[in-house]
Structure 1
């Protein structure tokens, strides 16, 4: 009996660990058609382009700022300009935005989970 309870508890803990994985991690299709990989842990994540003209380039760094919400910096790979950024995950969609002048001028994109 004790063995069955221990096995059930272990299975529950393993499944709970998988459920706690952050939804922003993984591969995303950008609005431009490239693939971006978001990886990290401990509340900090980096974005690296995996395909397209700028493959291998790191274009962002984010930290958790709430439930499925992130803030940090995002770099336009075309111009190499870095902006303050925000991201939010909703299902298989990631809304990214980069802003200048304290949020006065912003540009947004929606990426889709692969």
Structure 2
């Protein structure tokens, strides 16, 4: 039975068209991210979403060490903004460090369900790894 190029090209093109957006979403910062516990044992969920041509993140929910929702003054606080792609799964922009009360140049690196968030306050640099919730 002869192979018809047109008949095989359409399914292949359709698969490629559907796979491309999925691959792009795999390493995007857009979504919900869980931070590690802070000094008080509080974990935050950060909602990252597009804001103009960049990505911004806001503290959407906070939980105590037992996983119960807890009210904190940081709810609704923007923790990063103006994050634009810099290549290789990295975004650069501005970040707010609630514990230091400082706004700093920030970098996020996304790899699958993990995102490394880093920034420097003067000569002191810190990073955290956040886990994708959704």
Moved beyond 6 Å, runs of 4+: none
> Match of 2:57?
47
Tell me if 1:17 matches 2:17. Answer: no
* Larger radius of gyration between Structure 1 and Structure 2: 2
TM-aligned CA distance change 1:24 to 1:35, over 3 Å: same
| TM-score for the superposition, normalised by structure 1 | 0.78
Q: Which runs of 5+ in 2 are unaligned?
A: 38-42, 63-71
| TM-score for the superposition, normalised by structure 2 | 0.68
User: How many residue pairs get matched?
Assistant: 112
Match of 2:76 among 46, 50, 56: 56
Q: Which runs of 5+ in 1 are unaligned?
A: none
The CA deviation at 1:77 is: 2.9
For residues 23-67 of structure 1, the C-alpha deviation after alignment (integer angstroms, 9 at most, x for no partner) is 322111012311001112786210111102222222111111121
Tell me the C-alpha RMSD between the 2 structures. 2.5
The CA deviation at 1:7 is: 5.2
